[in-house]
Amino acid sequence: MNSDSDLQIAGDILEVPHLLQAPREHPATVAEFAGLARSIAADRSQWEHLVRYDATSRWYHRLRTGPGYEVWLLSWVPGQGSGLHGHGDSSGVLTVLGGALTERTERGTRALDAGAQRVFAPGYVHEVVNDALEPAVSLHVYFPGLTEMPMHGAHSARCASVAPSVPPSAEVTA
């Protein structure tokens, strides 16, 4: 008996149906969106055959949508970057699937190797760049779906938006 608590559970707690939640068809929490990104990353058959590399601009492909969210696949050849930008009212999960990326914010620089995952809230401003010598691939989950990506000046992480709203079917970057 644990002397720190008078609570004891008898039997199998998983047999108490009112304590169990039915599995959700779609993610609804930050942890579930991060889990969605990890599960897609782990199953290369869902995305590897779609990846293309373009030397003139970053390649992107909307991989999946659900109620209130979008999943994008992006590729980055060496030297390609997103520019300093925000994500409007969207939160997001960035997961590096292959290669390495560098994230720059007003707080500093962070190396993101394959498997790295970044979760960010609305209002987060960053730049993502492939500073490596090899191509990189990343997965981006936005919730709600990305409708704008305001670009920011190179010297200020908090300056006015200069980009119009991005319609859901248009190009979406980091």
**Model pLDDT for residues 83-117, shown as the tens digit of each residue:** 898 888 889 999 999 999 999 999 999 999 999 99
Binding residues for Fe cation: 85, 87, 126
CATH topology of domain 26-143: Jelly Rolls (2.60.120)
Domain locations along the chain? 26-143
- CA separation (Å) from 20 to 16, 17, 23, 144? 7, 5, 9, 27
Which residues have CB under 8 Å from 63's CB, separation 6+?
40, 46, 47, 50, 71, 72, 73, 139
Q: Tell which wins on pLDDT, 61 or 172.
A: 61
Largest CA distance in the chain: 67
Taking the C-alpha atoms of residue 54 and residue 130, their distance in angstroms, rounded to an integer, is 13
What pLDDT digit, counting tens, does each position of 116-156 carry?
A: 999 999 989 999 999 999 999 999 999 987 766 667 775 43
Q: What's the pLDDT at 167? A: 33
Q: CB neighbours (10 Å) of residue 123?
A: 12
H or E element: which one contains 112? strand 108-113
Binding residues: 85, 87, 126
Cα end-to-end distance, the chain, whole Å: 53
